[in-house]
Structure 1
């Protein structure tokens, strides 16, 4: 058993390291093939690095590249993550940022088009896929992710307002530097980036599950052996067709766990009625694995 756990842990480390490298390639393609030619700013710390690079190139005595700035801006955040989130998380986040910085610097820019709408859409889609893939495999891409996880761990609150304010600043900066149409193009890219990321990374999407079954103990035991979720049982329900006794089970899962729920139901009661409501809001404790 110990040998299996060591092999599984080694497999996870290799998968995360490979994902960090893939993310570095994807974000460099988005940056060098689309965002830079189209004068589009990304969201978060990447967008801030682009803004500072533009300002130092135009007005500063020293020109700092986006790749170098991306690493420099993340350094204090690595210290926060190391202290407040975890060493393993920080290591793979550092690896993802290093890979992206190296690939942005190394990959030769190719101007496929300068059309800002095309550049905003395709750059955001590629970056959103890379970011979602990284999050899905348990690593962060740095920047505001670290601040968000730290605040959520300490206070239980998200940083939605901070995120929106920061990205609004990036959008306004794009308008001030390149002209106001580019502010709208950058805003379009930020929205698409978020949508694609949500499509790939499904762990944060909550779903309420209602199960009507006449085998409540079997279903509860099977679900809880597949995933770590609390379940509320309502006894004494009655089927309207045959008037047989039923139990109703309620739980909340993430979209990421939907396949595990399906497997548990097929194993415990394939004839149960299962209803799933998407995008529910949670008040109270909802278990999320440590990064």
Structure 2
């Protein structure tokens, strides 16, 4: 039993728990400080939960809290995540959604501004930073993130862009039911949220790396020790000035892996020439770790 507990990645689990708490706080601040006071509808399942909460007064006679509708809508998605993405991912998603619902319930609704544009921009920024931070650390905020991650793995599209396609229906319904001005403000918020998510979540941004080195074996071993990436080797590349023979290595990494690549180059060949092309498009298989 002692060996079993010693083998558990406790540091990884405590980190994910901390990230879940941070996301829950950010999502609750966005909802209770900006979205609710400004009548702004969020993206994805959270926006759908807001719509159902708004309609609940007319349908059932009392207002169902957003925290309850949000959790109820996520329950069937947990099963999809369990089957399509992974068990560990699903467990932490359940934890994150649970903490988010709890924090949304206990954080008091506070009006910082009555300007819907300010609420839309800052609410979207806070929510997008929370979503991006969670995804960057291998967690999901639930809802449409599950679909976005699945589609991103197949198509290579960014998470923020995928979410915006799904969210078109949400903002249209919000505008139709509660006034078209809410549609435009909500669209602004969703746009900001998507851009901030893409800025924070860097695992989806791919970079082509060209390395010219005299120590290819050391470089290849060090890179593959730090990350799982294929490398193309071109032998006897000739320099135009000295006409010396060197080896050209080509690979593709994510922006998230860039610090690991820099560390690998410092350890294997500090004098190598490294050229990096930002945000390249990939056709074909590109390995991505499961969250």
Contact 2:44 2:166 in 1 (8 A): yes
Note the C-alpha offset of 1:37: 0.8
> How far, CA to CA, are the matches of 2:286 and 2:156 in structure 1?
14
**TM-score (normalizing by structure 2):** 0.92
Note the C-alpha offset of 1:9: 0.8
2:286 equivalent in structure 1: 286
> How far, CA to CA, are the matches of 1:136 and 1:4 in structure 2?
28
Contact 2:164 2:190 in 1 (8 A): no
What secondary structure is seen at the aligned counterpart in 1 of 2:203? coil
1:44 equivalent in structure 2: 44
Note the C-alpha offset of 1:191: 1.3
Is 1:173 aligned to 2:183, yes or no?
Answer: no
> How far, CA to CA, are the matches of 1:251 and 1:45 in structure 2?
37
Is 1:276 aligned to 2:276, yes or no?
Answer: yes
Note the C-alpha offset of 1:3: 7.1
Q: Deviations over 1:63-118 (max 9, x none)?
A: 32211111000000111112332221111100110111111111111101110111
Contact 2:164 2:194 in 1 (8 A): no
Listed as ranges, the gaps of 5+ residues in structure 1 are: none
Structure 1 residues 276, 4: CA separation in 2 closer, same or farther (over 3 Å shift)?
Answer: farther
Is 1:113 aligned to 2:113, yes or no?
Answer: yes
Note the C-alpha offset of 1:147: 2.4
2:220 equivalent in structure 1: 220
Note the C-alpha offset of 1:185: 1.6
How many residue pairs get matched? 288
Q: Deviations over 1:19-43 (max 9, x none)?
A: 1111111101000000111111111
2:130 equivalent in structure 1: 130
> How far, CA to CA, are the matches of 1:4 and 1:260 in structure 2?
30
> How far, CA to CA, are the matches of 2:206 and 2:281 in structure 1?
7
Contact 2:171 2:187 in 1 (8 A): yes
What secondary structure is seen at the aligned counterpart in 2 of 1:250? strand
Note the C-alpha offset of 1:59: 4.9
Q: Deviations over 1:215-238 (max 9, x none)?
A: 222211111111110000111211
Structure 1 residues 263, 8: CA separation in 2 closer, same or farther (over 3 Å shift)?
Answer: farther
2:65 equivalent in structure 1: 65
> How far, CA to CA, are the matches of 1:257 and 1:273 in structure 2?
18
Please, what is the CA RMSD of the aligned residues?
Answer: 2.3
> How far, CA to CA, are the matches of 1:158 and 1:69 in structure 2?
31
Is 1:16 aligned to 2:16, yes or no?
Answer: yes
Contact 1:131 1:197 in 2 (8 A): yes
Counterparts of 1:195-234 in structure 2 under 5 Å?
195-234=195-234
**TM-score (normalizing by structure 1):** 0.92
Contact 1:37 1:111 in 2 (8 A): yes
Contact 2:163 2:194 in 1 (8 A): no
Listed as ranges, the gaps of 5+ residues in structure 2 are: none
Q: Deviations over 1:146-166 (max 9, x none)?
A: 22344566xx34688974443
Contact 2:164 2:191 in 1 (8 A): no
1:266 equivalent in structure 2: 266
> How far, CA to CA, are the matches of 1:236 and 1:71 in structure 2?
59
1:147 equivalent in structure 2: 147
Structure 1 residues 81, 226: CA separation in 2 closer, same or farther (over 3 Å shift)?
Answer: same
Deviates more, 1:94-103 or 1:265-274: 265-274
Is 1:25 aligned to 2:42, yes or no?
Answer: no
